[in-house]
Amino acid sequence: MMLKFIVFILFIIPICFMKNLYWMVQNLMFLLGFMFIIMNFSSNYFMSISYLLGYDIISYGLILLSVWIICLMMMASEMVKKKNNYVELFMINLLLLLLLLILTFSSISLFMFYLFFESSLIPTLFLILGWGYQPERLQAGVYLLFYTLLVSLPMLIGIFYLYYLIGSLNFYLLNGNLFNYEILYFSMVLAFLVKMPMFLVHLWLPKAHVEAPVSGSMILAGIMLKLGGYGLLRVMGFIQLMGMKFNYIWISISLVGGVLVSLICLRQVDLKALIAYSSVAHMGIVLSGLMTITYMGICGAYTLMIAHGLCSSGLFCLANITYERMGSRSLMINKGMLNFMPSMGLWWFLLCSTNMAAPPSLNLLGEISLINSIVSWSWVTMLMLSLLSFFSAAYTLYLFAYSQHGKIFSGSYSFSNGKIREFYLLFLHWFPLNLLIMKGDMCMLWL
- Rounded to whole angstroms, what are the CA distances from 96 to 34, 42, 92, 112, 305? 19, 25, 6, 16, 23
Of 12-21, 61-70, 91-100, the range with the lowest mean pLDDT is 12-21
What mean pLDDT value characterizes the chain?
A: 90
Which positions ≥6 away from 140 have C-beta within 8 Å?
A: 128, 132, 204, 207, 208, 210, 211, 212
Q: What is the pLDDT of residues 145-204, one digit of tens each?
A: 999 999 999 999 999 999 999 999 998 888 888 888 899 999 999 999 999 999 999 999
Averaged over 210-224, what is the pLDDT? Answer: 91
Could you please report the per-residue DSSP string of 154-191? HHHHHHHHHHHHHS--BHHHHHT-----HHHHHHHHHH
| Per-residue pLDDT tens over the stretch 259-308 | 999 999 999 999 999 999 999 999 999 999 999 999 999 999 999 999 99
201: how many CB neighbours lie within 10 A of its CB? 19
Give the model's pLDDT for residue 229: 95
Q: How confident is the model at residue 447 (pLDDT cuts 50, 70, 90)?
A: low
Helical packing angle, 22-38 and 57-76, nearest 10°: 160
CB 62 within 8 A of CB 230: yes
| DSSP code at position 198 | P
Show the beta-strand stretches assigned E in 229-354: none
Cα 410 to Cα 326, 333, 339, 345: the distances in Å are 11, 9, 12, 19
At CA 77, angle to CA 119 and CA 14, rounded to 5? 60
- For residue 30, count other CB atoms closer than 10 A to its CB: 17
Contacts of 207 (CB under 8 A, 6+ apart): 136, 139, 140, 143, 144
Whole-number Å distance between alpha carbons of 206 and 280: 9
| Residues 248, 244: Cα–Cα separation, whole Å | 8
pLDDT digits 0-9 by tens, 357-389 = 988 899 999 999 999 999 999 999 999 999 999
Give the model's pLDDT for residue 373.
95
3-state class of 408 per DSSP?
Answer: coil
User: Taking the mean position of all CA atoms in its chain, how far away is CA 361?
Assistant: 17
- pLDDT category of residue 42 using cuts at 50, 70 and 90: low
How far apart CA 415 and CA 128 sit, in angstroms, is 31
Q: What is the mean pLDDT of residues 134-153?
A: 90
Please give the DSSP secondary-structure letter assigned to residue 13. Answer: G
**Does residue 135 register a pLDDT over 90?**
no
Beta-bridge partner residues of 55 = 47
Local structure of 55: helix, strand or coil: strand
Torsion angles phi and psi, residue 330, rounded to 5: -75, 140
> At residue 212, what are phi and psi to the nearest 5 degrees?
-75, 155
The upper half-sphere exposure of residue 193, i.e. CA atoms within 13 Å in the direction of its Cβ, equals 22
CA angle 12, 5, 227 (to 5 degrees): 105
Kindly report which listed range (84-98, 234-248, 408-422) carries the lowest average pLDDT score. 408-422
DSSP state of 47: B
- Please check the confidence at residue 106 and state whether its pLDDT lies above 70: yes
* CA separation for the pair 129, 113 (Å, rounded): 25
The pLDDT, as a whole number, for residue 445 is 74
Q: What are phi and psi of 126, to 5 degrees?
A: -65, -40
Model pLDDT for residues 297-335, shown as the tens digit of each residue: 999 999 999 999 999 999 999 999 999 888 888 988 888
Integer Cα distance of 21 and 304 in angstroms: 35
